[in-house]
Amino acid sequence: MSAPSQWTVFWRTVVGRAYPRIIGAQREKSWVFFEIFLPLLQVTAYVYIYRAIQAPPEFIGFVVLGGAMSAYWLNVLWSMATQLYWEKETGNLELYIVAPTSRMAILLGMAMGGLFATTLRAVAVITIGTVLFHVSMSVSSVPALVGVFLTTLVALYGMGMLLSSLFLLFGREAWHLSNLLQEPVSLVSGFYFPVRALGQVVAAAASILPITLGLDAMRQLLFPAMLGKFRFLSPGVELAILVGLAILFLFLSHRALAFFEKLARRDGRLSVRGQ
């Protein structure tokens, strides 16, 4: 029998790493409940704040969409960025290093598996929030909306792969970096308000985060009548930047993974500090 091709091994690895997370999410029903209920409470709090200050009703839609998309950022932060560090702590990372497959395939499989539960949570937040708070959306272009959403996810998970390598290389600070990034990113990405409210300079700096541009573009496509004075950039420009960010992060993550693999094989250590 001939050996399988590299692409066959790559996609088998993706399926093999995604399978446990998909099945695990189905077996633990309580996780599904709390991953939907608890984020919905945070969305509800912002909804009542906007209602208390008599903000335009479209802001309720901004909150619901932001609450749904925040699930993807948390999945990237905790299920990808810290993943290799956790695997190192549990003793599995050595197996990943010597396995005859791509490290990107391993991370991609973990991402795809986590994406199942994350999408379930996001869809539930949007559905329940839309019905509960009577959110009215008007999609100006379905292909553009789907394109922005998918490109945002590619760029976001590419960033997660890069962060997983960086967190591993810098050792024990990975956990603290994850905690450090959680709330500031929620602020500068504009999860619960238009990012332009932070000012053009801050919004431009926050554009290095794919979720910032993705949210702004999706809000413009879902609420076209409202975001004329609140939009940061046009959806077309933001989509082009997202494509560039996706390519950049995937390239950098590939280089970073190759670097730490070389470090492990050559020096017998998995961080720049020998931890």
Q: pLDDT digits over 117-173, tens only?
A: 788 888 888 999 899 998 888 888 889 999 999 999 999 988 888 888 777 776 666
Report the alpha-carbon distance of residue 122 to residue 130 in Å, rounded: 12
Higher pLDDT, 85 or 41: 41
For residue 98, what are its two tokens?
């010597």
Sign of the C-alpha dihedral, residues 227, 41, 199, 232?
A: negative
106 within some domain? yes
Share the mean pLDDT of the chain: 83
pLDDT computed for residue 71 by the predictor: 85
pLDDT score of 199 more than 90: no
What is the domain extent for residue 255?
6-267
**132 CB burial (10 A radius; 0-12, 13-18, 19+):** middle
93 within some domain? yes
- The DSSP annotation for 206-239 comes to HTTSHHHHHHHHHHHHH-TTTTTTT-SS-HHHHH
253 within some domain? yes
Longest Cα separation, the chain:
70
Report the alpha-carbon distance of residue 124 to residue 113 in Å, rounded: 18
Residues in Cβ contact with 58 at an 8 Å cutoff, skipping those fewer than 6 apart? 223, 225, 226
pTM (predicted TM-score): 0.86
pLDDT computed for residue 274 by the predictor: 47
H helical segments located in 5-57: 6-27, 29-52
1 within some domain? no
Residues in the chain: 275
Sign of the C-alpha dihedral, residues 145, 61, 211, 208?
A: positive
- Report, as an integer, the average pLDDT of 204-214: 92
Q: How many domains does the chain have?
A: 1
Q: Which of 202, 213, 217 is nearest to 245 (CA)?
A: 213
197 within some domain? yes
Q: How far is CA 270 from CA 3, 104, 257, in A?
A: 30, 17, 11
274 within some domain? no
Report the alpha-carbon distance of residue 102 to residue 92 in Å, rounded: 15
| 101 — pLDDT class (breaks 50, 70, 90) | confident
Amino acid at 244: G
116 within some domain? yes
Residues in Cβ contact with 92 at an 8 Å cutoff, skipping those fewer than 6 apart? none
275 within some domain? no
